Amino acid sequence: MIFFRSAVFGPFIVIASLSSAAISSAAMASAQPFSLVKITLWDKGKEAAMTTDQGIGMTSGNSSATMGLKLSRTSVKAGEVVFRVKNGSQDIVHEMVVFPYKKGQDIPYSEKDSRIDEDAAGHLGEVSELDPGQKGELKISLKPGTYVLACNIAGHYMAGMWALLTVK
Ligand SMILES: [Cu+2]
């Protein structure tokens, strides 16, 4: 058979000789079922003066933020995504909320509450209110696009506690 001469088709020949149960477990072992993003929530301590002008699209970005999210990766494949979140702060409660993002769009924001308006912004899921040192996990399915990961404790988004994630 001509397939035996092709390295590309080799794996199919091996699988074809197995039972159907073996095929599905082999497929599961080789295909990664989800993308993992590890996130550390950080800050410079509760004594640090919080910045207030570090929202998305604001002139300074969040380069001088006193709190933020550190991502193990900023790009993942579309499909199931697991966010494994740890609050690395010594003394401040943080969380991680996922929103869709379109370039040039302002994130709906409530000045009154000093928070992103979660309903208007299209809240997709969250690991809410982690105490210092605490961990949490969120698994959601994401389509290709850009997403905002933000902490929506009052004041934290404008302090610069957000990051962008690209889904391809
Ligand atoms: Cu926070």
Same domain, 93 and 147: yes
How large is the average pLDDT for residues 142-146?
97
Measure 30 CA to ligand 1 centroid, in angstroms: 37
**Residues 123 and 138 reside in one and the same domain:** yes
* Distance in Å, CA 92 to ligand 1 centroid: 7
66 band by pLDDT with thresholds 50, 70 and 90: very high
One domain, residues 26 and 48: no
| Residues 122 and 145 both lie in one domain | yes
Contacting residues for 100 by C-beta, under 8 A, at least 6 apart: 121, 122, 124, 145, 146, 147, 148
What is the CATH classification number for the domain harbouring 101? 2.60.40.420
Instruction: Give me the mean pLDDT over the 15-20 stretch.
Output: 44
Question: How much distance in Å is there from the Cα of 160 to the middle of ligand 1?
Answer: 9
Distance CA 142, CA 81 (A): 7
The alpha carbon of 27 and the centre of ligand 1 are apart by a number of angstroms equal to: 40
Same domain, 16 and 51: no
Residue 58 parent element (H or E): none
Please name the amino acid found at residue 76.
V
* Residues 93 and 146 grouped into a single domain: yes
Contact 88, 40 (CB under 8 A): yes
Cα(24) to ligand 1 centroid in Å equals 42
Domain that holds residue 19: 1-31
Amino acid at residue number 35: S
Beta-strand relationship, 94-101 and 79-87: unpaired
Query: How many domains is the chain partitioned into structurally?
Result: 2
Strand partners of residue 165: 147
The reported pLDDT for the residue numbered 12 is 44
> pLDDT tens across 92-112, in order?
999 999 999 988 788 999 999
**DSSP three-state, residue 93:** coil
pLDDT of 72 higher than 90: yes
35 C-alpha to ligand 1 centroid (Å): 24
Residue 103 Cα, ligand 1 centroid: separation in angstroms? 23
Which pLDDT score is estimated for 31? 65
Question: Rounded to two decimals, what is the model's pTM?
Answer: 0.80
For residue 67, report the distance from its CA to the centre of ligand 1, in Å: 7
Q: Tell me the average pLDDT across 115-140.
A: 97
Do 153 and 129 belong to one domain?
yes
- Indicate if 103 and 76 belong to the same structural domain: yes
Q: Give yes or no: residues 23 and 62 share one domain.
A: no
Distance between Cα 131 and ligand 1 center (Å): 10
Residue 76 CA to ligand 1 centre (angstroms): 23
